[in-house]
A and B are shown apart, each in its own frame.
Chain A
Amino acid sequence: MVLELQKPRPVWQIMFSTHHTDVGLLYLIMSIAFLFLGGTLALLIRAELFFPGSQIIADSMTFNRIFTVHGTTLIFLFLLPSASAVGNYFVPIMVRYKDMAYPKLNAIAFWMIPPAGALIWLGFADFTWYATPPYSIISSPGPAADMWIFGLKILGISSVLGAINFVVTILKCKHPDMSIGQVPLLAWAFLSSSLIVIVAIPTFAAALLMLLTDRLGVTGFFNPVMGGDPIAYAHLFWFTFHPEVYVLVIPAIGMMYEIIPRFSRKPIFSKSSGIFAFVLLSVVSFSSWAHHMYATGMSFTEKTVFMLGTLAAVPASGMHVFNFVATMWNGRIKFLTPMMWSIGGIALFFSAGAGGVANAAMPLDFTTHDTYWVVGHFHLFVMGTIAFGTIGFIYYMFPYVTGRMYNETAGKIHFILSFIGTVLVFFTQHVLGLYGMPRRIFDYPEIPEWIVMNQIATVGAMIIGVSMLIFLINLIHSSAKGKPADIHDPFGLGGKYYYPFESKNPHH
């Protein structure tokens, strides 16, 4: 798998390749590009909210479009593809197979994403990433909304194709000498998350079609004027997208399972409990979707059931945290960049989970629902846990991909600034939520507490922005000019454990 960038190849050879590391490289580059596009929108949002009143964005419609595309981009065009990048590189090697099970399907799944991204970005819809009816049916201007719907439709198909590929690769193409229990935890993570995708995504795919025909006026599934029910959409949407949270978080945890033991120079504390927790999370991810909907007028019994389903996910998540801490315990830890990102990610995962318990408890949810608390809460997952795990892993795979080392000091500065920024933005947003500031607002009244909290959050966001610029420069500069990596042990860990480069997959 190594040295993708070392031997000069014309770019079209990578673009039209079906080899898993080439497709992985394409996924990686595209997802990093969208990380910066989506991140820029986040900085615009934060700059606008620095003071009450209109700052840099002229009107609320533009603002609404910006946060819609920000969310859609970072979830579907950064987090999902960056996980696919890692999976494409590592899963075939970990199950000791020459490629993904269906290499052409793999390339097709990748090439569906750029047109979908173009639809979302050229349309610039305004109905939030949740596209809630009846607003999205009767009020949201086209063709932006329709372009978003088609974009998401394509992304959903791409996800399902990718997921089928991972499941078949792991279950059917693993080396005959390898039992399923010997499959490394990172590959187990992709097996679990892919199974969730296959079960969850079709529901939203159906809802999207119904939304589209509702917009065209030929049906009224979610349009109350035609006898439909907007709450039905909420159920269909969250049946897909609550499990989707786990689709994103499980690979990130798998990446930490790759990094933590190596940099602690100790075997994982309990691989079997890691596998068990992955499988358990995949199952309970389907038991909690309607906790997003307590305030829609659900009955007491419904709320109770979904609260219990939500709390059921906590022990499995806690088992992962325990596993990480127990692995690090008494280890000879080497605090290099990938390890720092993983440890930071675990700390923020724990914080996000603790906040999630408060959300799940019914009476507390009525304080936090649809306020900035929720924004802070899920950003601690998507940024603090998933992006932290993924960025740490990008540093980790960098020498294997490019044959060169990144700049360690710049990597550490990137981590420290990002960690400080993340805490400043998303912890203050929790507090802002308790003060009652609603989500998705372009402007806010001059309440002193709101102003202070918003300003702290904006400063934090700008710190993250600076750190990401350091990241980008480091990646570009080091891939061309970095010092050559010792490919047998790029991190100087003493190489007792299995390293991915040991099984090379030649181009075929």
Chain B
Amino acid sequence: MGHHSNWPEWIYVGVIIAIMCWVGAEAWNVERLVEHVPADAETIIVTGQQWFWTFEHEDGTKEVGTLHVEAGKAYKFEVVSTDVNHSFNIHDYVVLMDAIPGRVNTVWFAPDKAGEHDIQCREYCGLIHYNMRGKLVVEDPLT
């Protein structure tokens, strides 16, 4: 050591730092947009409990396991839990939020077209965690 110059390493470290700055800035920018909940979003209270999901719409309608929403509208989920930690996940729409007892966590999404998607629990919650699954049904506004 000592007898050779280290400039290739400095350039290399500089390139890494530049890439990290770009990743950080891009992530910051995207996350800022993703977290901005539209003002007209309809609230749905999502309750996780061992081992199923319950959904309560703004008008008071309750659903168990299957959630019906309309395409083209924005929805805000208020995710809560009554027992242990769960994680509310609609993978196709990158909706992920932990359901933690004693807390209300929010996440939102706006389904764009009609279809069926899986809802699952992504945080270990015990015996039937593997099958704590539900269905998201996105319907056309006219029907």
- A273 an interface residue at 8 Å Cβ cutoff? yes
Which residues of chain A in 256-299 are interfacial with respect to chain B, using CB atoms and an 8 Å cutoff?
A: 267-273, 295-297
Is there an interface contact between A139 and B122, defined as CB atoms closer than 8 Å?
Answer: no
- B101 an interface residue at 8 Å Cβ cutoff? yes
- Residue of A60, A134, A444 near B127 (CB, 8 A) is A60
What residues on B are CB-neighbors of A269 within 8 Å?
Answer: 1, 4, 9
What residues on A are CB-neighbors of B85 within 8 Å?
Answer: 132, 134-135, 230
Find the B residue at minimum CB distance from A358.
B23
Is there an interface contact between B20 and A357, defined as CB atoms closer than 8 Å?
Answer: yes
Is there an interface contact between A268 and B20, defined as CB atoms closer than 8 Å?
Answer: no
- B94 an interface residue at 8 Å Cβ cutoff? yes
What is the minimal beta-carbon distance from A318 to any residue of chain B, in angstroms? 5
What residues on A are CB-neighbors of B124 within 8 Å?
Answer: 64, 127-128, 130, 132, 135, 439-440
Is there an interface contact between B9 and A322, defined as CB atoms closer than 8 Å?
Answer: yes
Is there an interface contact between B27 and A307, defined as CB atoms closer than 8 Å?
Answer: yes
What residues on A are CB-neighbors of B83 within 8 Å?
Answer: 134, 138-139
Is there an interface contact between A135 and B102, defined as CB atoms closer than 8 Å?
Answer: no
Find the B residue at minimum CB distance from A267.
B1
A90-98, A172-180, A359-367, A391-399: which lies at the interface: A359-367
Given known pairs A135-B124, A295-B87, the reply for A326 and B9 (CB within 8 Å) is yes
Is there an interface contact between B94 and A445, defined as CB atoms closer than 8 Å?
Answer: no
- A336 an interface residue at 8 Å Cβ cutoff? no
A276 vs B127: C-alpha distance when bound (angstroms): 47
Contact with B along A429-441 (1 / 0, CB 8 A): 0000001101111
A300 vs B36: C-alpha distance when bound (angstroms): 10
A207 vs B100: C-alpha distance when bound (angstroms): 19
Is there an interface contact between A135 and B126, defined as CB atoms closer than 8 Å?
Answer: yes
Q: Count contacts on B: residues with CB < 8 A to the other chain.
A: 52
A136 vs B123: C-alpha distance when bound (angstroms): 13
A151-159, A193-201, A308-316: which lies at the interface: A308-316
- Residue of B17, B23, B101, B103 near A361 (CB, 8 A) is B23
Is there an interface contact between A441 and B97, defined as CB atoms closer than 8 Å?
Answer: no
- Residue of B8, B12, B27, B102 near A363 (CB, 8 A) is B27
Is there an interface contact between A311 and B24, defined as CB atoms closer than 8 Å?
Answer: yes
- Residue of B24, B35, B102 near A229 (CB, 8 A) is B102
What is the minimal beta-carbon distance from A304 to any residue of chain B, in angstroms? 6
What residues on B are CB-neighbors of A404 within 8 Å?
Answer: none
Is there an interface contact between B103 and A297, defined as CB atoms closer than 8 Å?
Answer: yes
Which residues of chain B in 2-42 are interfacial with respect to chain A, using CB atoms and an 8 Å cutoff?
A: 4, 6, 8-9, 12-13, 16-17, 20, 23-24, 26-28, 30-32, 34-35
A106 vs B26: C-alpha distance when bound (angstroms): 48
Is there an interface contact between B105 and A308, defined as CB atoms closer than 8 Å?
Answer: no
Interface of A is mostly: helix
- Residue of A271, A312, A438 near B120 (CB, 8 A) is A438
Is there an interface contact between B100 and A370, defined as CB atoms closer than 8 Å?
Answer: no
Is there an interface contact between B87 and A61, defined as CB atoms closer than 8 Å?
Answer: no
Is there an interface contact between A367 and B94, defined as CB atoms closer than 8 Å?
Answer: yes
Given known pairs A300-B35, A307-B24, A443-B131, the reply for A326 and B97 (CB within 8 Å) is no
Find the A residue at minimum CB distance from B29.
A363
What residues on B are CB-neighbors of A273 within 8 Å?
Answer: 6, 9
Contact with A along B63-105 (1 / 0, CB 8 A): 0000000000000000000011101010110101110111101
A134 vs B124: C-alpha distance when bound (angstroms): 11
Is there an interface contact between A60 and B13, defined as CB atoms closer than 8 Å?
Answer: no
Is there an interface contact between B9 and A315, defined as CB atoms closer than 8 Å?
Answer: no
A60 vs B50: C-alpha distance when bound (angstroms): 14
- A240 an interface residue at 8 Å Cβ cutoff? no
Which residues of chain B in 101-118 are interfacial with respect to chain A, using CB atoms and an 8 Å cutoff?
A: 101-103, 105-106, 118
What residues on A are CB-neighbors of B97 within 8 Å?
Answer: 295, 297
What residues on A are CB-neighbors of B129 within 8 Å?
Answer: 60, 64, 440-442
What residues on A are CB-neighbors of B102 within 8 Å?
Answer: 224, 229-230
Given known pairs A297-B103, A369-B96, the reply for A442 and B9 (CB within 8 Å) is no
What is the minimal beta-carbon distance from B85 to any residue of chain A, in angstroms? 6
- A303 an interface residue at 8 Å Cβ cutoff? yes
Is there an interface contact between B31 and A363, defined as CB atoms closer than 8 Å?
Answer: yes
- A231 an interface residue at 8 Å Cβ cutoff? yes
Is there an interface contact between A231 and B91, defined as CB atoms closer than 8 Å?
Answer: no
A68 vs B24: C-alpha distance when bound (angstroms): 33
What is the minimal beta-carbon distance from A185 to any residue of chain B, in angstroms? 11
Is there an interface contact between B130 and A442, defined as CB atoms closer than 8 Å?
Answer: yes
What residues on A are CB-neighbors of B31 within 8 Å?
Answer: 300, 303-304, 362-363
What is the minimal beta-carbon distance from B29 to any residue of chain A, in angstroms? 9
Is there an interface contact between A357 and B122, defined as CB atoms closer than 8 Å?
Answer: no
What residues on B are CB-neighbors of A132 within 8 Å?
Answer: 85, 123-124
Interface residues of B (CB under 8 A from A): 1, 4, 6, 8-9, 12-13, 16-17, 20, 23-24, 26-28, 30-32, 34-35, 50, 83-85, 87, 89, 91-92, 94, 96-98, 100-103, 105-106, 118, 120-131, 133
18 contacts between A and B (CB under 8 A): A60-B128, A61-B127, A130-B124, A134-B85, A139-B50, A140-B126, A272-B1, A295-B96, A297-B98, A303-B31, A307-B28, A315-B16, A315-B17, A322-B8, A361-B26, A363-B31, A371-B122, A442-B129
